[in-house]
Structure 1
Amino acid sequence: MSLAILSFFMLSLLAVVSKPNAGEAAGDNCPFTRHIMENIGGVLDYGSRVGKEQKVAMKMAVEDFARSSCSKQLVLQLEDSRGDSAKAASSTQIFVANNRPPYVITAAIELVSSKAKAIVGTMTAQETGSLSKIDRNIKDIPIVSLTSPAITPPSIAHQLPYFLQMSDHITLHIQCIAAIVGQFKWRKVTVIYESKNSFSAYSGILALLSDMLKAVNTDIEHHSTLPSMPFLSNPEVLIEQELINLRSRSNRVFIVILSSLEMAVLLFEKAKLLGMMERGYVWIVTDEIASLLDSVDSSVVKNMQGVIGFRTGFVHTSKPFKRFRSRFRSEYRSEYPEEEEYCNPSIFALRAYDATWAIAQAMKKSPGDISSEKLSKGILSSKFRGLSGVIRFKNNFLSQLPSFHIINVVGNSYREMAVWSPELGFLKNQEKDNGVNASSSLEDWGSIYWPGGKRNVPKGWVISETDKPLKIGIPASGAFHQFVRMCFDQANNRTCATGFSINVFEATVKRLPYNLHFVFVPFNGTYDEMVEQVYHKDLDAAVGDFSIEPGRFQFAEFSQPYIDSRLIMIVIGKSAKSKITWMLKTFTTRLWLLMAAMHMFIGCLVWIIERGNNNEFEGIGAMLWFSVTIIFYAQGQPLRNNLARVVVAPWLFAILVITATFTANLSSRMTVSRLEPSVLDIETLMKTNAPVGCNGNSFVVRYLTNVLHFKPENIRKFYSESDYLEAFETGDIKAAFLVEPHAKVFLGKYCEGYTRAEPTFQLGGFGFVFPKGSPLVLDMSEAILKVVESGEMQQLEEMLASSNCSSKALRDNTSLDLKPFAGLFILSGSSSAFGFLVAILRMGSNLQILSYIQTLLTKRRIWRWARIHLSRENSTVPKTNDHVQTSTSVELANFAH
């Protein structure tokens, strides 16, 4: 037992003695271990900021591995790609981590001619695939690409089984771009990219971006390709000329993707000089630029005021990162003293460190020489928390989904506005401890500083002075010229147009926040064909009496409807006299009943009032008689009570007015002829196979066939207003189907012979036609609402509805309701209520009404029945009056009899 304890103590002591100190090479602390030298190659761009950071970070990773490993030692061989990874220069730098005895350098020089175990750098999958065709051994070496974002076409992925990417896939970056554009609802964008790292070879990126933007109703209007900086002899002139070309276009939303920091610095410098960083412009940068804003000087940030973008998020507050940042600054200042002021590590430096560390750890797991296959599997099986986040691979990519921080460049730095996640979208913040996320709307982003200092979201486009006038198509052969009529302006020698739709369009254009240059182009064809011309960009828009209907949305977009519309059935009207039997239809049933009730009430009230002064008013018969005398103005008993006169006078006045109205309305019904539909409904037309007419240029033909199910052979197509009249007169059609604005014009002219029939069918109204994604749609819709709110639209509609038969307008022969006489009834009812209240108070005080009610109930035997019923319920009460008991018994017998 004591021997075991002693052995354990000796082993523990040996472990403590052999543990390396911080900053001390492993070779000095592992005297009994034989070091195995492993070569790691690196291909970096020494001329770029990213390449410089990656070079320093990889050296630091090799140093840290040397301190932790007693079995293997790494030799880092770096090559400068000079901006093109596929053409890496032959110059080689050798860095041995421990930098100790000379034999280590000798061993490293010998490894230069040998194959490296793994390669880390900015080689893309396309470039690696090309090199593998020259040297087949290249595809057998594990390659960890630091290119961000990761681009691996499916056609190449299977050819490189050991090709890994220490970055996020391009799809995630494009999704974030589309989310930002969709958040602000810009309809057109211009894409600017640097043709480097075989972007031009992978044209699918642009197509992928286009598809993602279409999902948020945005199109790529133009894309500009800039050659890679190392291959430009005079990049300033080329960039300036390209920006001048972009400035002449209408679109003002620019997305800079897959660009080096050096290209972006020059691009924004020229953009500011050309006035393209002023109000109305929008600039969006992606991760490869936004993640390096901590590494640029103030002059660069000054040129980028108002730019928005996104950068890959990582934990800035962890202790490992803080220790790394402190060491990185020291190493970077030592390596590049001219840039010592701006030496904060970016996400690209962190990933270079993590990639080197992942390779080193995979080598460490193998005690001897490791094969490429085992090394690749070891790297793929890596699972650790690195400086850039959780390092874990899936399908040769990082499996951990990133979170992109949305930034806005303002002042001397930038402000983080929101976080975007591929799973959750925009987030206001992220609680990394418990994973709680707060959803973010555009309002939560706070005030955004746009180029030029404007706080409101830019529209993203303008009408440029160099743009050609918009070609606005108008129907040259519309059936109703009140909406669009062609004319020719001889003074200016150009085509002009008038009509309701044209007037609305011109009123709307005046309310746009910019001048819209356009010319009217007559179009001879159907309305659907004109919509297709807008779809094919032969026309920039179309204006006229275009109905908004679902079949046209696959070709174009429509503005807000400027007039509502329904489908109306017009038929010949037949004259008909009012059929009056009892003349009761003159008033509504409610009015008749109310008058009868008022008669009865006032008669009862007058009878009650007069009873005290005139004994001739006896019983219900007298009450009814008096009510009748009021109705027929008879000379009944004279009213002796002033209160009765107060009650009767307002009612007599109401009767006089109602009688006069009754006479007038009855005369109208008996003498004025009305138009009734000759065909009552659609079912009648379909059962009799009656022919119907419609506008042959409109969608109504399709609506009658597909929706209302008319037989095509029963549909007649007409192309002018007069065609309908001739067809009705000759009996060629029994009904015509017109949209409501057209129907109003037709009936306004021919109201004597035609009328509408039921039912009607709701449609989408009239609107202006624009190409899909046109930014004019929202602006014109907003302007239409302003025309409506100003009242100008109503004035234009009144001009449209003017007719030739306004003097012969048909009367409304509906029955009169209570509403016209409400005041009279209120007056008479108030006086009657007042009289009733006074009569009750008078009669109640004299107990006259109580005695009368008792007498009336006794005559009807109700009083006796009530007394008998009460006596039964109160049989337990002692009777003190024998006479009352006897009387009750007699009354009960008489009642039973």
Structure 2
Amino acid sequence: MRYLVFVPLSVFMLVVFGGIVCCQRPAVVNIGAIFTFNSVIGRAAKVAIEAAVSDVNADPMILNGTELKLFMRDVKCNVFMGSIEAFQLIEKEVVAIIGPQSSSIAHMISEVANGLKVPLVSFAATDPTLSALQFPYFIRSTQSDSQQMAAMADLIDFYGWKEVIAIYVDDDYGRNGISALSNMLEKNMAKVSYKLPLPVQFNQHDITVLLNNSKPLGPRVYVVHVSPDPGLRIFTTAQKLQMMTNNYVWLATDWLSATLESFSKMNQTSLRILQGVVGLRQHTPDSIPKKAFLSRWSGMQQKGLVSAGLNTYGLYAYDTVWAVARSIDKFINEHNITFSASHELPDSKATRVQLEQLKVFDGGTFLLRKLLQTNFTGLSGQVQFNQDRNIVSRGYDVINIDKMEIHRVGYWFDGSGFSVLPPETLKGKNVSHSQLDWKLQNITWPGGKTETPRGWVIADNARPLRIGVPRRASFVGFVTEEHDSHKVQGYCIDIFLEALKLVPYDVPYKFELFGDGLSNPSYDGLVKMVANDVFDAAVGDIAIVTNRTKIVDFSQPYISTGLVIVAPINNHKASAWVFLKPFTVEMWCVTAASFVMIAVVIWILEHRVNDDFRGPPRRQIATMFLFSFSTLFKTNQEATVSSLGRFVMVVWLFLLMVITSSYTASLSSILTVQQLSTSVKGIESLITNDWPIGYQVGSFAYSYLSDSLRIQKSRLISLGSPEDYERALRQGPRNGGVAAIVDELPYVQLFLSNQTDFGIIGQPFTRSGWGFAFQRDSPLAVGMSTAILKLSENGMLQKLHEKWFCKEGCPEERRQHSEPHQLRLISFWGLYLLCGTITFTAFLVFLLRMVCQYVRYKQQQMHPHSPSSSSSFSTRYSKAVFNFFDFIDEKEEAIKKMFTQCDYPQVHGSSGR
């Protein structure tokens, strides 16, 4: 019985004891760190790593009593030393290595880490070619340069520069970083025009030679991607060479911000040298732990424990230690830390190398998995790794040095571009990621100017762009050559020059004429010369068609066009109200007002002396207007008696004679034009019939009609000028002319601006536009397209159109505001003015006569036996004028009765009946 009880108890104790042994936490866990102690990054990283190890060991929540032991090795920026130190660290049975900071060393020891399965977590190796596929045990706890170069490319595109010069250190870090920048710029239709490498251990002489060699080059936008340099030697040399002026743009990657942050006290002289420089800085969100650590760092500086400032890489190094510690804590909860000899290593006796001391970390794969699952908030922000084993991007700050201070002018975040708000504030918000919404604060550039530099000058050895221009023989308003000065001008040239002003860099060019000037050149041939590198570009009335876009790049169209049909047309449709068309609305209104005016004036002049204009009010009104309108037909029965009335009628009848004859002529012309018609109804009727068709010499209309529409080439008649157009259309197809002309809309509009007997049949049956042709992948094509859009938005395109083609009013406006053959008021205003002046004068004479008769009548009533008054005539006349209106007021009732009964008293001396 005892035996039976003892066996299960023993088994139970064995299982428990075995589990305790299996999961027993070690007293010490070794980790290594490889970097260069005496460097900008290393000085901050060393203190940060030591502080992190101390904090981890002091925190009972991490490792639960297990001590984290750190072994650090100084590689002195040497790849060979880095390899040796890596082997020595692995001999210490470290479970993870923090570092290195150098991308070149990382390439080397990553192979060692792969072989011995020791995770390598780097806080400063930013080379984008350190890929997870090639180096599965390499983890990057800082942002890759692929992200930084995307931000730099967007910054270059944001300000519109298309070519840059890259200065970089000639190692894996420099070469691969600039290669990533070049790839990103290509997506934005820009490029790294010149790559200027520096030796790894470059000196002042190397920099001077390099910068002097870059002076003759055209681009003035420099991207500097080197290792952190406390002496800022590149910018110091650039200032001595007069290259920190407003003609230059200096952009720096995050090495500059790391250098400036490492200064324990900001060097004012250094900041003065950096005036106008724009750089990137890895973004780290503000937080309470970060502020506390910065305060702690300041305290260590005051005590003399730290000689350098804390830069971003120091924060990454601190978080890297915590990420490794958290992963080790999770690992040792599930696995034991064991090492074993590698069967893949060669025999040490054969190689005479002590490789037997190198052991493979058995739990390396599991620890790597725990590291990749890391997710916590550190001093630098959220610590989490993506599928490429890089830390999740936090974005970049854009900094600008101005007035010896570092200003943060905005932020860049992958996917959302530039913003003046930090990336963490945009999370969860519906924010537009369009480039149109990108914003940065004002930047001060070298030289102290806030205006964005053009970033380009004419290079000393640069060849100006050869721009082919068609030498037209007709329609010279589009492109023409001045015979006196041999300069090129025209509508298309003006648009090109205005657009060139908006391109954010200088473009040297020279125009070269194409064609003999006797006939219009072949535009297909001009475009082919651009594709064959005879010309760098072509400017003119060049239509954007499919076969041309296959060999060159076109700018944005600056005018919409398409093929249309021109033929003799019927401009007017039959209408029941055609009799109103001879006069404009203003003419009808003024004529009607004239009839009313004549009716009123004649009634006033004839009412007192002519019985035909007397009677009841209704009869007088009817007589008044019937008399006026009947003068149009000379059927009025009432005769004018007074001399003033007859004088007014003479002028009025003369006016009517001119108006009626003009109306008759205009109406006849309109009715005659309405009988004209054309048998051309559209492009289908031209295809199905055998009529000859005209086209402009050199236009793509010929190839379109013959190749696309399959019209016989014998039917196509070449025409060279607007005069040829008019002659061929008037002759018609039976007299050696053409039935219609097919040409592009702008030419047709210019032709019809002086023609009223021809018009456009139907709508354009092709859709295209005119643009400027450039060689394939030319960055100028994109720059000119943007400039043309700006010209359209600010109204300059319309102004140029009016300058060249609306000197006498645009054809569309003239057709819109008036009909052909209409008579307008401007043609008769003199005659109307003469008639109105004479009529008004007669009315004034009549009023004066009434005043005089009234004065004599009053005098006779006051002095019936006195033949005349002793006062002078002027005195009597003045009193009469002042008393006339008093008489009207006193005799208001009598006057009303007088006008109503039409029974006026006979005034002495009047000529009434």
- Tell me, yes or no, whether TM beats 0.5: yes
- Alignment partner for residue 252 of structure 1, among 207, 220, 227? 220
- Alignment partner for residue 536 of structure 2, among 530, 540, 545? 540
Gaps of at least 5 residues in structure 1 are: 1-32, 94-108, 490-494, 802-810, 853-897
Does the C-alpha gap of structure 1 residues 82 and 829 become closer, same or farther in structure 2, counting only changes over 3 Å?
farther
- Alignment partner for residue 553 of structure 2, among 553, 556, 559? 556
- Alignment partner for residue 191 of structure 1, among 166, 176, 188? 166
- Provide the secondary structure at the position in 1 that maps to 2:336: coil
Does the C-alpha gap of structure 1 residues 742 and 843 become closer, same or farther in structure 2, counting only changes over 3 Å?
farther
Partner of 1:883: none
1:407 corresponds to 2:388? no
Cα offset for 1:83?
Answer: 2.8
- Provide the secondary structure at the position in 2 that maps to 1:846: helix
The one-letter code sitting in structure 1 at the alignment partner of 2:510 is F
- Separation in structure 2 between the aligned mates of residue 556 and residue 850 of structure 1, nearest angstrom: 88
1:492-511 per-position Cα deviation (integer Å, ceiling 9, x unaligned): xxx96767479759987998
Partner of 1:376: 368
1:647-662 aligned within 5 A: 654-655=655-656, 657-659=658-660, 661-662=662-663
Partner of 2:256: 289
Cα offset for 1:354?
Answer: 0.7
1:821-840 aligned within 5 A: none
The one-letter code sitting in structure 2 at the alignment partner of 1:308 is V
Q: Comparing 670-679 with 712-721, which one deviates more in the overlay? A: 670-679
1:709-744 per-position Cα deviation (integer Å, ceiling 9, x unaligned): 744546738485599889988858533323466558
Partner of 2:821: 814
- Separation in structure 1 between the aligned mates of residue 701 and residue 256 of structure 2, nearest angstrom: 55
1:268 corresponds to 2:274? no
CA contact (8 A) 1:402 1:421 kept: yes
- Separation in structure 2 between the aligned mates of residue 672 and residue 441 of structure 1, nearest angstrom: 54
1:397-422 per-position Cα deviation (integer Å, ceiling 9, x unaligned): 46654142211111323111122233
Partner of 1:300: 270
1:469 corresponds to 2:464? yes
CA contact (8 A) 1:484 1:501 kept: yes
- Separation in structure 1 between the aligned mates of residue 808 and residue 626 of structure 2, nearest angstrom: 59
The one-letter code sitting in structure 2 at the alignment partner of 1:452 is G
Partner of 1:738: 743
Does the C-alpha gap of structure 1 residues 627 and 478 become closer, same or farther in structure 2, counting only changes over 3 Å?
closer
Does the C-alpha gap of structure 1 residues 56 and 823 become closer, same or farther in structure 2, counting only changes over 3 Å?
farther
Partner of 2:280: 310
The one-letter code sitting in structure 2 at the alignment partner of 1:688 is N
1:634-783 aligned within 5 A: 636-639=637-640, 654-655=655-656, 657-659=658-660, 661-662=662-663, 679=680, 681-688=682-689, 690-695=691-696, 697-701=698-702, 710-713=709-712, 716=716, 718=718, 731=736, 733-739=738-744, 742=747, 755-759=758-762, 761=764, 768-770=772-774, 772-774=778-780, 777=784
Partner of 1:219: 190
1:182 corresponds to 2:181? no
Q: Comparing 757-766 with 419-428, which one deviates more in the overlay? A: 757-766
Partner of 1:76: 70
Does the C-alpha gap of structure 1 residues 550 and 175 become closer, same or farther in structure 2, counting only changes over 3 Å?
farther
Partner of 2:58: 67
Does the C-alpha gap of structure 1 residues 224 and 603 become closer, same or farther in structure 2, counting only changes over 3 Å?
same
Cα offset for 1:457?
Answer: 0.9
- Alignment partner for residue 447 of structure 2, among 440, 448, 452? 452
Cα offset for 1:77?
Answer: 2.1
1:409-448 aligned within 5 A: 409-430=401-422, 445-448=440-443
- Separation in structure 2 between the aligned mates of residue 421 and residue 591 of structure 1, nearest angstrom: 67
Q: Comparing 497-506 with 543-552, which one deviates more in the overlay? A: 497-506
1:241 corresponds to 2:209? yes
1:504-523 aligned within 5 A: 504=494, 516=508, 518=510, 520=512, 522=514
1:28-76 per-position Cα deviation (integer Å, ceiling 9, x unaligned): xxxxx99722221222133531122212211221222222356222232
1:71-102 per-position Cα deviation (integer Å, ceiling 9, x unaligned): 22223222333335575163699xxxxxxxxx
- Alignment partner for residue 124 of structure 2, among 147, 162, 177? 147
Partner of 1:389: 381
Cα offset for 1:290?
Answer: 2.6
Question: TM-score, normalised to structure 1's length?
Answer: 0.68
1:583-615 per-position Cα deviation (integer Å, ceiling 9, x unaligned): 886446985698578657865896699678755
Cα offset for 1:136?
Answer: 5.1
CA contact (8 A) 1:574 1:678 kept: no
- Provide the secondary structure at the position in 1 that maps to 2:31: strand
Q: Comparing 476-485 with 769-778, which one deviates more in the overlay? A: 476-485
CA contact (8 A) 1:566 1:740 kept: yes
Report how many aligned residue pairs link the two structures: 764
1:45 corresponds to 2:36? yes
Does the C-alpha gap of structure 1 residues 509 and 35 become closer, same or farther in structure 2, counting only changes over 3 Å?
closer
- Separation in structure 2 between the aligned mates of residue 194 and residue 473 of structure 1, nearest angstrom: 42
Partner of 1:358: 323
- Separation in structure 2 between the aligned mates of residue 844 and residue 428 of structure 1, nearest angstrom: 88
CA contact (8 A) 2:113 2:120 kept: no
CA contact (8 A) 2:127 2:177 kept: no
How large is the RMSD of aligned CA atoms in angstroms? 5.8
CA contact (8 A) 2:570 2:676 kept: yes
Cα offset for 1:166?
Answer: 0.5
Does the C-alpha gap of structure 1 residues 272 and 469 become closer, same or farther in structure 2, counting only changes over 3 Å?
same
CA contact (8 A) 2:397 2:410 kept: yes
Does the C-alpha gap of structure 1 residues 681 and 357 become closer, same or farther in structure 2, counting only changes over 3 Å?
closer
- Separation in structure 1 between the aligned mates of residue 673 and residue 422 of structure 2, nearest angstrom: 78
1:690-714 per-position Cα deviation (integer Å, ceiling 9, x unaligned): 44343464443566589xx744546
The one-letter code sitting in structure 2 at the alignment partner of 1:168 is Q
Cα offset for 1:388?
Answer: 0.8
Does the C-alpha gap of structure 1 residues 453 and 705 become closer, same or farther in structure 2, counting only changes over 3 Å?
farther
Does the C-alpha gap of structure 1 residues 677 and 462 become closer, same or farther in structure 2, counting only changes over 3 Å?
farther
- Alignment partner for residue 846 of structure 1, among 896, 904, 911? 896
- Provide the secondary structure at the position in 2 that maps to 1:637: coil
Question: TM-score, normalised to structure 2's length?
Answer: 0.67
- Separation in structure 1 between the aligned mates of residue 121 and residue 303 of structure 2, nearest angstrom: 27
1:745-797 per-position Cα deviation (integer Å, ceiling 9, x unaligned): 87899x89x95543574987765544542287389869999997999997876
Gaps of at least 5 residues in structure 2 are: 1-23, 338-362, 810-817, 848-888, 903-913
CA contact (8 A) 2:527 2:548 kept: yes
- Separation in structure 2 between the aligned mates of residue 532 and residue 115 of structure 1, nearest angstrom: 69
Does the C-alpha gap of structure 1 residues 433 and 733 become closer, same or farther in structure 2, counting only changes over 3 Å?
closer
- Separation in structure 1 between the aligned mates of residue 302 and residue 547 of structure 2, nearest angstrom: 64
CA contact (8 A) 2:142 2:390 kept: yes
- Separation in structure 1 between the aligned mates of residue 52 and residue 199 of structure 2, nearest angstrom: 30
The one-letter code sitting in structure 1 at the alignment partner of 2:822 is S
- Separation in structure 2 between the aligned mates of residue 480 and residue 584 of structure 1, nearest angstrom: 38
